[in-house]
Amino acid sequence: AQKVTQAQTEISVVEKEDVTLDCVYETRDTTYYLFWYKQPPSGELVFLIRRNSFDEQNEISGRYSWNFQKSTSSFNFTITASQVVDSAVYFCALSEREAGSARQLTFGSGTQLTVLP
Amino acid sequence: EAGVVQSPRYKIIEKKQPVAFWCNPISGHNTLYWYLQNLGQGPELLIRYENEEAVDDSQLPKDRFSAERLKGVDSTLKIQPAELGDSAVYLCASSGRMVDTQYFGPGTRLTVL
């Protein structure tokens, strides 16, 4: 069975600080996808990034960056120079493929990020 | 391109009453998902459709929950009768044929009194 753990329940930072959200996953499959979603107070889950299990290249996109390490089963997410609008709940999620068909997303319990002005 | 549409956004009912939620996925997306999100938790899958076929409904409480996607486009999730513990946010998501990224709608927040 697959599992996603986000050990940080809540994080508070002051605007312009960098912040890293941790995610550790468990899966027995060799082919899988990892995701980060953002859920602002409005409630809609917003897709941020997807990584497949064969692509360990880390990426930077604007103020966001991701660190995927298969050796430690971690997929951490960093926001550089945080802004108040980054305040939200961030979810890490895992999806396995079955016979070429996408399966359900297994979500972590989320990390509430609060960026203070 | 329009995103996933859900209605209503909010619903308040008394226990034992029926309730229905509607979802229209992103145009061209053949896979549709219904998730349940309790307060302070991540979403959990209720049912997954590939076109009009429910391919994974193992986590749907079938004694009171039902869902349909008759023409392989929009979908309806029903609860009858509702219980106090059903108070939660019900999320709909969709994904394309070969792309695993799921895009979510705004959800329906259900309150059962």
What local confidence, expressed as pLDDT, does residue A42 receive? 87
Min Cα separation B107/chain A (Å): 7
Min Cα separation B88/chain A (Å): 12
**Chain B residues within an 8 Å CB radius of A97:** 100
Tens digit of pLDDT for each residue in A37-93? 999 988 889 999 888 888 777 777 789 999 999 899 999 999 999 999 999 999 999
What local confidence, expressed as pLDDT, does residue A81 receive? 96
Whether the CB of A97 is below 8 Å from some CB of chain B: the reply is: yes
- Going by the DSSP 8-state scheme, the letter that residue A31 receives in this structure is S
What local confidence, expressed as pLDDT, does residue B92 receive? 97
**Contact B31/A44, CB-based, under 8 Å?**
no
| DSSP run (H or E) holding A9 | none
Closest residue of chain A to B104, computed from CA coordinates: A45
**Chain B residues within an 8 Å CB radius of A95:** 100, 102
How far, in Å, CA of A109 to CA of A91, rounded?
Answer: 7
Q: Which tokens go with A71?
A: 């050796």
Q: A–B: how many Cβ contacts below 8 A?
A: 57
How far, in Å, CA of B28 to CA of B98, rounded?
Answer: 12
Tens-digit pLDDT profile for chain B (113 aa)?
A: 689 999 999 999 999 999 999 999 999 899 999 999 999 999 999 999 999 999 889 899 999 999 999 888 999 999 999 999 999 999 999 998 766 789 999 999 999 99
Q: Is the pLDDT of residue A100 over 60?
A: no
- CB of A93 within 8 A of CB of A39? no
What local confidence, expressed as pLDDT, does residue B5 receive? 96
